[in-house]
């Protein structure tokens, strides 16, 4: 669908893809800072800003978290999670060198929605800076396990915040092509 109102922002939204294969090159700190800046400028209910971000670049820790999460998935009793974790090349963080864990205030009713807005800002900012990204929902599983509290402390997540998901950041080995067709029959106009 062509639109005469196309601009850089709309183009970035339409061009962004979830990347699941990253090069070994690390994302520059300046770019990570800019991506985090975009996150904190997200809208939030009553300007509550109920988020906390943990930047993880320790490769050993990321691998440990990957293995622990896969173990949880394998014993979850959920057919989808178990089959995903059994895939030979599956890695929770897709071997990204930088992962940002997104946590929300437990006592803030709109924290998941507000954190989702901040996450989308990160994904779009990353794309605009030439950095690939992927929203990682599986990352939250680790924190509902018996090891969750130890990881919360290790990752310096403040008391009263719950880890929700993560964002993998890096440089794509292979950037996905065009977006799959979109269902356009999802809007009702009431005039």
- How many CB atoms within 10 Å of residue 84? 15
Rg over alpha carbons for the chain, rounded to the nearest Å, is 18
Residue ranges in 94-134 assigned as alpha helix (H): 111-128
pLDDT for res 130: 97
Identify the domain containing residue 132 by its residue range. 20-170
Whether 20 has a pLDDT exceeding 90, the answer reads yes
Q: Could you read off the pLDDT of 91-144 as tens digits, one per residue?
A: 999 999 999 999 999 999 999 999 999 999 999 999 999 999 999 999 889 998
Q: Could you read off the pLDDT of 49-85 as tens digits, one per residue?
A: 999 999 999 999 999 999 999 999 999 999 999 999 9
- Domain at 121, CATH number: 3.40.109.10
Q: Could you read off the pLDDT of 153-186 as tens digits, one per residue?
A: 999 999 999 999 999 999 999 888 888 899 999 9
Classify residue 32: in a domain, yes or no: yes
**Quick one: tokens of 189?**
């106009």
Classify residue 182: in a domain, yes or no: no
Classify residue 59: in a domain, yes or no: yes
The DSSP line for 30-90 is: HHHHHHHHHHHTS--GGG---EEEEEE--HHHHHHHHHHHHHHHHTS--HHHHHHHHSTT-
Closest Cα partner for 169 from 118, 114, 130? Answer: 130
Number of domains in the chain: 1
Classify residue 183: in a domain, yes or no: no
Beta bridge partners of 42: none
pLDDT for res 67: 97
Whether 2 has a pLDDT exceeding 70, the answer reads no
Backbone CA torsion sign across 61, 90, 102, 73: negative
Strands (E), 51-96: 51-56
pLDDT for res 65: 97
Residue 3 — very low, low, confident or very high, per pLDDT cuts 50/70/90? Answer: low
Question: Would the pTM count as exceeding 0.75?
Answer: yes
Whether 35 has a pLDDT exceeding 70, the answer reads yes
Classify residue 7: in a domain, yes or no: no
Cα separation, 135 vs 186, whole angstroms: 23
pLDDT for res 82: 97
Provide mean pLDDT across the span 20-24.
96
Classify residue 135: in a domain, yes or no: yes
Classify residue 133: in a domain, yes or no: yes
pLDDT for res 149: 94
Classify residue 175: in a domain, yes or no: no
Residue 4 — very low, low, confident or very high, per pLDDT cuts 50/70/90? Answer: confident
């Amino acid at each position: 669908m062509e639109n005469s109102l196309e601009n850089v922002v709309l183009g970035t939204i339409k061009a962004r893809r979830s990347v699941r294969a990253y090069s070994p090159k690390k994302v520059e700190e300046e770019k990570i800072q800019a991506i985090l800046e975009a996150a904190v400028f997200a809208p939030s209910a009553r300007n509550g800003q109920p988020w906390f971000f943990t930047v993880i670049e320790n490769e050993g820790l990321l691998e440990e978290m990957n293995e622990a999460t896969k173990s949880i998935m394998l014993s979850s009793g959920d057919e989808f999670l178990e089959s995903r974790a059994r895939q030979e090349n599956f890695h929770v963080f897709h071997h990204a060198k930088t992962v940002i864990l997104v946590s929300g205030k437990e006592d803030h009713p709109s924290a998941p929605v507000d954190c989702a807005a901040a996450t989308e800002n990160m994904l779009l900012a990353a794309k605009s800076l030439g950095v690939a990204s992927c929203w990682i929902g599986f990352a939250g599983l680790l924190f509902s396990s018996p090891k969750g509290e130890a990881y919360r402390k290790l990752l310096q997540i403040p008391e009263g915040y719950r880890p929700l998901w993560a964002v993998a950041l890096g440089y794509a080995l292979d950037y996905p092509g065009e977006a799959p067709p979109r269902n356009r029959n999802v809007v009702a106009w009431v005039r």
